A and B are shown apart, each in its own frame.
Chain A
């Protein structure tokens, strides 16, 4: 089959690789009908996340049709149409039973590696480093889904892939980011980053009834899309002091809720802390650039909430934790417990509250995937979200 394969930093190729096979009774194989490139794939593309090996198949936003089912899998049958959540879940461990699916205790087959890096294992993820299991990803013609009897979202026929695909990751990720803010009707929610997750977080905050949503980015077309979703915007090309601007916009009080959809690769270029991060990263004394995290801590209203769906992978430096502590901020973060939200979000799509396909700007075949990684990374050609049809 054809698949997008990681070969090294900024080197992804469309290769021919062996077809996946059933390896366990709970498995299923799907024929991929649609997949997408996620912002967090760019952390692998740029090799900021450790644990990649040449030959790894990329992709964790995938849906398709079941073509083969393991002998112990009674939840699925050939012909079922499923969206595959990016977190692989056993459905049986203590964390899964609590709904903390992204920290499933059993699905990471490289648990020892994760324990070394994170202290404890987290869930296995598709196409996302050997720290999280080294499972082949879904930017391919076929995908083996481990623990498929739990790791799936059944979706009805009659709704196009474009509306359903993002149940795999960015929609529930933006949703969880907003839900964990516990949004109140009088809240102002500030959202850093207007990439795909940022766009979903904006819509989620609007649906959940935030009084105001303020989105922060520097890419013109992303700001336009943010405004279309109901956000006010701060354009970083015109505003260098985000904290002061947010104070101005909120009568000096700051936003009650702040969401970081940017994560480890903040692209600040003009501030002193950005130069500091770049220098430390160049000599490998810091793995992540926490520019947004620093701004959120300083901007957030005392007793407010910071929600962090943006991915961080390792070590950060010069975070004003004294400000966070003294302001009594609440930090909520983590990978998304996809299956916890999927039934509710599917219903909202069916009822027409939201159509997540608004974010798709490019639809390509697998062969064009490598080029689209670069286009997406460099924010060229108006690219916000790439959907791939293998």
Chain B
């Protein structure tokens, strides 16, 4: 253990002048990114339910007939992800899940442009919409990550905050004569040994 010599009493005094914060206060404690995450969670559930309940209509509109089971599976994924976002204390990993799901959706939509699909106009609109939602997902997940990013070392220097008005050296062991209450003592057999015998409890 190091025992740096400090004039900590003076430092402690100067620390007490920490200025009160005076920033504008949002009466609720959620950030814009939290609100966006919740919005995306509800969107996910809504889209998922539509995919589960009306896969045939969706596939017909996009010219993707025959993929109804796949669309229903995507719907289940959307509902599960949406519920997880809404219920989670930290939606960040679930939003990354949404981004991965978006990529899957875009890849699936891209296969619809092959061949002679008569619904390429609707398909293109759907692709643009999914790309927009993907962008929102990425903005949200990056914002949430930035919200939680720890400070860089050295930004907040608390090196003078020892809490010992008379310095660390004086504080070390200052309370070592405390009569530890009997019910707080460890058993003698577990105490350290000195000169071949366990140190007796005081």
Give the distance to chain B from A214, nearest Cβ to Cβ, in Å: 9
A330 near B190 with CB under 8 A, answer: yes
Contact indicator A220/B165 (Cβ below 8 Å)? no
Assess whether B168 is in contact with A230, with CB atoms less than 8 Å apart. Answer: yes
Give the docked Cα–Cα distance between A221 and B199 (Å).
Answer: 38
**CB of A221, distance to nearest CB on chain B (Å):** 4
1/0 contact string of A215-233 vs chain B (CB within 8 Å): 0001111001101111110
- Contact in complex: A203, B163 (CB < 8 Å): yes
Binding stretch for chain A, among B41-49, B54-62, B70-78, B174-182: B174-182
CB under 8 Å from chain B, chain A span 132-191: 160, 162, 179-182, 184-187
Q: Given A162-B16, A224-B158, A374-B31, verify A99-B165 contact (CB < 8 Å).
A: no
- Taking CB atoms, residues of chain B closer than 8 Å to A220 are 150-156
Q: Tell me the nearest residue of chain B to A207, going by C-beta.
A: B175
Q: Interface stretch among B17-25, B116-124, B129-137? A: B17-25
**Interface check A252, CB cutoff 8 A:** no
Interface string of A368-390 (1 = CB under 8 A from B): 10111110001111101000000
A-B CB contact pairs (8 Å), 5 listed: A203-B163, A206-B173, A220-B150, A224-B159, A379-B148
Would B21 and A209 count as touching, CB distance under 8 A? no
Most buried by A among B12, B156, B189: B156
> Do B18 and A358 touch (CB < 8 A)?
no
**A interface residue numbers (CB < 8 A to B):** 9-14, 45-48, 99, 160, 162, 179-182, 184-187, 199, 203-204, 206-209, 211-213, 218-221, 224-225, 227-232, 256, 278, 282, 303-305, 328, 330, 332, 340, 344, 348, 352-365, 367-368, 370-374, 378-382, 384
Contact A371 B18 (CB under 8 A): no
Once A282-B84, A354-B171, A360-B18 are accepted as A-B contacts, the answer to whether A9 and B89 lie under 8 Å apart by CB is yes
**A179 contacts which of B165, B174, B178, B189 (Cβ < 8 Å)?**
B178
Tell me if B161 is interfacial: C-beta within 8 Å of chain A: yes
| Contact A230/B26 with A47-B89, A203-B164 known, Cβ cut-off 8 Å | no
Q: How far is the CB of A97 from chain B (nearest CB, A)?
A: 13
A353 to B162, CA, bound (A): 11
Task: Evaluate contact between A384 and B158: CB separation under 8 angstroms.
Answer: yes
| Structural contact, B180 and A211, CB atoms closer than 8 A | no
Give A275's nearest chain B residue, CB to CB: B93
Residues B163-202 near A (CB distance < 8 A): 163-166, 168, 171-176, 178, 180-181, 184-187, 189-192, 199
Which one, B12, B25, B158, contacts A355 given CB within 8 A?
B12
Residues of A within 8 A of B27 (CB): 13-14, 370
Q: Give the complex CA separation of A181 and B184 in angstroms.
A: 8
A-B contact count (CB 8 A): 197
B150–A379 touching, CB < 8 Å: yes
CB of B15 within 8 Å of the partner chain: yes
Given contacts A162-B16, A179-B178, A382-B151, contact A206 B171 (CB under 8 A): yes
Min CB–CB distance A196 → chain B (angstroms):
11
User: How long is the Cα–Cα vector from A368 to B19 in the complex, in angstroms?
Assistant: 14
B interface list, Cβ under 8 A from A = 1-3, 12, 15-16, 18, 20-21, 23, 25-31, 34, 84, 87-89, 93, 147-148, 150-166, 168, 171-176, 178, 180-181, 184-187, 189-192, 199
Question: Known: A220-B154, A230-B3, A358-B162. Contact between A370 and B89, CB under 8 A?
Answer: no
A residues within 8 A CB of B30?
A: 10-11, 374
Q: Which residues of A sit under 8 angstroms from B181, Cβ to Cβ? A: 99, 179, 340
Contact A182 B158 (CB under 8 A): no
**Within 8 Å CB of B175, what residues of A?**
204, 207-209, 348, 353
Which chain B residues lie closer than 8 Å to A367 at the CB level? 25
**When the two chains form their complex, are residues B18 and A363 in contact, meaning their CB atoms are under 8 A apart?**
yes
Give the complex CA separation of A365 and B80 in angstroms.
41
Contact indicator A355/B165 (Cβ below 8 Å): yes
B184 touches A371 (CB 8 A): no
With a cutoff of 8 Å between Cβ atoms, the chain A residues found around residue B34 in the complex are 10
Closest to B175 in A: A207
Q: What is the distance, in angstroms, from A266's C-beta to the closest C-beta of chain B?
A: 13
Q: How far is the CA of A47 from the CA of B165 in the complex (A)?
A: 38
Q: Is the CB of B18 within 8 A of A361?
A: yes
Q: Let me know if B156 and A371 touch, CB within 8 A.
A: no
Contact at B151–A229, with CB atoms within 8 Å?
A: no
A221 with B163: CB separation less than 8 A: no
Closest to B185 in A: A182
Contact A359–B163 (Cβ < 8 Å): yes
B160 touches A228 (CB 8 A): yes
Chain A residues contacting B26 (CB-CB under 8 Å) are 370-371
- Contact: A221 with B156, CB < 8 Å? yes
> Which residue on chain B has the smallest CB distance to residue A348?
B175
For B157, the closest partner residue in chain A by CB is A224
> Which residues of chain A are near B184, meaning CB under 8 Å?
179-180, 182, 332
Most buried by B among A14, A212, A381: A381
Collect the chain A residues with CB atoms within 8 Å of residue B191's CB.
182, 184
Closest to A235 in B: B153
Q: Give CA–CA (A358, B147) in the complex, Å.
A: 26
Which B residues lie within 8 Å of A9 (CB)?
Answer: 89
B-chain residues with CB within 8 Å of residue A46 when the two chains form the complex: 89
